[in-house]
């Protein structure tokens, strides 16, 4: 049986609230967050005419929040992307609702960066990632894209990294941080 849920990052680095699978069965916490992302994705898909698009930047709207998690809706016009970033220690799940998103993620081992991995995510694709995951997501297609993101704990900051360096090449050097976006200040 195949699945369109994929796990990203180091499965052993995730906190207990988002315990990533280390066995064939997906643990209940991950299943709960993935189900929440898919539930919201289904609601959004039924009302895509309510999604907004901003010609200058990605549009986003918080759909739900509790003490330990939050759910965001994002829209992406062709060419819009995140830049290389992490999630400030939060783990997460995201599901593509419509369109196509291109993800480039870093493969990081405890001693070095092992290179970059690229994938194209289509409607229904769900990614699960831990708190140390570094990636960039871009709409490289010709049509708008929509996605739903769930973070636990709630997203408080994102570290931005220099994507100009050759991240596909293995390296012992740390990534060069170029900025931090903070909740309440930048979004």
Tens digit of each residue's pLDDT (9 = 90 or more) over 126-179: 998 888 888 999 999 999 999 999 999 999 999 998 876 666 666 666 777 888
* Per-residue confidence (pLDDT) for residue 28, from 0 to 100: 54
Closest CA relative to residue 185, chosen from 156, 161, 160: 156
85 annotated ligand-binding residue:
yes
Tens digit of each residue's pLDDT (9 = 90 or more) over 89-105: 898 899 999 999 999 98
Tens digit of each residue's pLDDT (9 = 90 or more) over 60-78: 999 999 998 999 999 999 9
102 annotated ligand-binding residue:
no
* Per-residue confidence (pLDDT) for residue 113, from 0 to 100: 67
Place of tokens 């539930």: 39
135 annotated ligand-binding residue:
yes
* Per-residue confidence (pLDDT) for residue 32, from 0 to 100: 76
The dihedrals phi and psi of 36, each to the nearest 5 degrees, come to: -65, -45
* Per-residue confidence (pLDDT) for residue 82, from 0 to 100: 93
The mean-pLDDT minimum among 55-59, 113-117, 136-140 falls in 113-117
Q: What domains, with CATH codes, occur in the chain? A: 68-182 (2.60.120.10)
Q: By percentage, how much of the chain surpasses pLDDT 70? A: 72
More confident call, 109 vs 153: 153
């Amino acid at each position: 049986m195949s699945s369109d849920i994929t796990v990203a990052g180091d499965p052993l680095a995730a906190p207990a609230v988002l315990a990533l699978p280390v066995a064939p069965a997906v643990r209940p916490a991950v299943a709960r967050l993935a189900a929440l992302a898919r539930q919201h994705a289904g609601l959004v898909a039924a009302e895509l005419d309510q999604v907004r698009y901003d010609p200058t930047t990605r549009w986003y709207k918080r759909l739900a929040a509790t003490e330990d998690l939050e759910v965001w809706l994002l829209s992406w016009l062709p060419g819009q992307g995140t830049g290389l970033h992490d999630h400030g220690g939060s783990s997460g799940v995201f599901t593509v609702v419509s369109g196509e998103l291109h993800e480039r993620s870093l493969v990081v081992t405890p001693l070095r960066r092992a290179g970059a991995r690229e994938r194209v995510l289509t409607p229904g694709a769900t990614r699960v990632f831990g708190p140390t995951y570094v990636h960039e997501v871009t709409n490289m297609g010709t049509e708008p894209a929509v996605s739903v993101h769930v973070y636990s704990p709630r997203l408080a900051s994102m570290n931005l990294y220099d994507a100009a360096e050759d991240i596909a090449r293995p390296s012992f050097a740390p990534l060069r941080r170029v900025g931090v976006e903070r909740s309440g200040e930048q979004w």
